[in-house]
Structure formats: structure tokens, C-alpha cells
Amino acid sequence: MAATRHGRYGFLAGAILPGLALYAVFVLSPYTQAFYLALTDWTGVSGEVSFVGLANFGRLLDDPLFLAALRNNGLMLLVVPLVTIGLGLLLAAGVNFGGRGGRPGLTAVRGAELYKIAFFFPQLLSLPIIALLWQFIYHPNEGLLNGLLRGVGLDGLARTWLGEPRLALWAVMAVLIWSSVGFYLVLFSAAMESVPRDVLEAAVLDGAGRLATLRLVILPLLWENVQVAFVYLGVLALDGFAVVQIMTVGPGGPDGATEVIGLGLYRNAFTYGKFGYAAAMGVALFLLTLTLAVLALRVGRRERVELS
């Protein structure tokens, strides 16, 4: 018995310890180094490192660009997850329960799988490719968007979408939503397929419309999926570096209208050689992301719905 137990523990140790070692080297070690560098004035080149304590974090509160980035990331955190999840739920419900034939309100639309593939297509493109694509779409003279507006006689609505401070950030957020909504359409569609049909039939027989069924029946059953989606989209909104770096003038312009924390981190580290200060920005971003995840999973916690 003792030999069997020893062999079992040896097997578990052999299976777990290599993974823990890799995790410590490639995950915990970089985080630890970042936390340490945030307390120094390291330039990234010199071997001399001076310990400055919390001075870098104090500078963040007096940095107008960082405060602008914090404000922009906060707006993105409000808009991108809510709009993406809302559109994903509506489109998933429309695809899965928007058909006209068969039982009322319970049949998928014709060609539902094709719709899912079409909406999912942006996931096949990398974010830099999407940013370049939309940079051409937003072009003030030769872009597709202004071209369509002028083509239908709406010349007055044509804008320099990425050149106007009050529009640039909204244009960037539209790209993030467009690139993400297809994935959550597919995610929510898969979850909706597991919803018992008798529950939906009972709602239809009680006179609930499609929107009421989505809000009162389907959404509570999909709440855990929505929570996870909010966390992932929140992380995307708190980042936004690749899209802003590629699409915007400056980048981060015009006049800091699209400045985000990740862009300030990159600029301070690789342009100004302030790796210690950039590490402080990274630590601040890490703490914001961790806080978001904890709040989203705890504040939005609901009792599990049990179906017999």
C-alpha cells in the first residue's frame, strides 16, 4: 500500500512540477522583475539601477498623458464590453430563434451556420491586419466609409474620422467591437443550444415576446458566459495598444484623444528610455485588469439556475 501511494505521489509530482517550473520561469519571474523595475529608474540600457521606491507611481498622478490614457481606457471599458456583448446576444438570439417556420420563436433562421461563419470571419485576421484595413476604410478622401456616404448623397456626414478629437476614439472602439462581436455571437449561440426547449416553449406559451424571452429566460441561463465575456472584453478595452498604434495619427492623437495606457508604456520604454517609469505603468495596468476581473466575477455573481 505504501509503495503504491509513493508511486502515485511520484507520478503526480513528475506531472505537475515541470509545468510549475515553466510557469515560474516564464510567468511569475517576468511579473516579479516588472514589479522590481517599477521601483527603479532603469533606462533599459545602462547596467546601473537606482532604487526610487514609489516615486514612479507618484509621477503617474501628475502625468497628463497618463491621466488622458486612463480616461480613454475607462470610456473603452464602459462601451466596448457592453456594446459587444449586447450585439452578440441579439445576433445569437436572432440566428438561433429568429426563424419563421416551425414552432414560434424557437427555430433558427435559414442559413444560420453561414451567418455564424460570416460574422466570425474577422477572428481569422490578426488585429494589426484589421487595424490596417480600417485605416483605409476611414481614409478621409479615398476611404470606403466616406465614399459610401458621398455615394448616397450624405456628403455632409463625411468626416476625417481619425483626425477629429471627438470622433477618433469612437472610431477606434467601433473597430474593436466589429472585430470581436462575431466570436461572442458564436460563443453565445453554442450556449443557447443547451437551453432546454421546454423552458423556451413555456415562455412563448405565456405570451413572452422574443426580446422578453431573451432578457428574462435566456440571459439568466447564460449569465456565467456573459461574465467571462465581460472579463475578456474588459482586458481588450484596457489594452487597445495595437489598434491605436497602427490606426491613429501621432499615434495617440489627435491631441491625445486616443491615448491609451499601453501606448504610453511603449513610448516611455522604447522611445524615451524610461523603463522604470514604463514598468510602473505596466504594474498599474496589471492592477486595473486584476481589479476588473475580480469585480466582474464577484459583483455580477448570481445564484446558479438549476433545471430539472
- 285, burial (CB in 10 Å: exposed 0-12, middle 13-18, buried 19+): buried
Nearest in space to 211 (alpha carbons), one of 102, 302, 103, 89: 89
Pick left, alpha or beta for residue 207 (phi over 0 → left; psi -120 to 50 → alpha; otherwise beta): left
- 182, burial (CB in 10 Å: exposed 0-12, middle 13-18, buried 19+): buried
Count of residues in the chain: 308
| pLDDT, position 232 | 93
C-beta separation of 43 from 273 below 8 A: yes
CATH code for 54-299?
1.10.3720.10
Report residue 24 as a C-alpha cell: 515560474
156-170 pLDDT, tens digit per residue, is: 899 999 999 999 999
The per-residue b/e assignment along 32-70, b for 16 or more CB within 10 angstroms, e otherwise, is eebeebbbbbbbeeeeeeeebeeebbeebeebeebebbb
CA–CA separation, 244 vs 270, rounded Å? 17
Residues of the chain below pLDDT 70: 1-7, 99-106, 300-308
| pLDDT, position 96 | 85
Cell numbers 480600417 correspond to 134
| pLDDT, position 202 | 82
Residue 264's alpha-carbon distances to 73, 135, 162, 275, 280, in angstroms, are: 12, 21, 19, 11, 11
| pLDDT, position 308 | 46
CA 112 to chain centre: 25
CA–CA separation, 98 vs 221, rounded Å? 19
- For the question of whether the overall pTM of this predicted structure is more than 0.75, the answer is yes
- Helix 261-270 / helix 64-97 crossing angle, nearest 10 deg: 130
Residues 6+ apart with CB under 8 A from 110: 99
| pLDDT, position 115 | 87
Residues 6+ apart with CB under 8 A from 63: 264
- Report the percent of the chain where pLDDT is more than 90: 53
| pLDDT, position 231 | 92
Report residue 266 as a C-alpha cell: 511603449
The per-residue b/e assignment along 159-168, b for 16 or more CB within 10 angstroms, e otherwise, is bbbbbeeebb
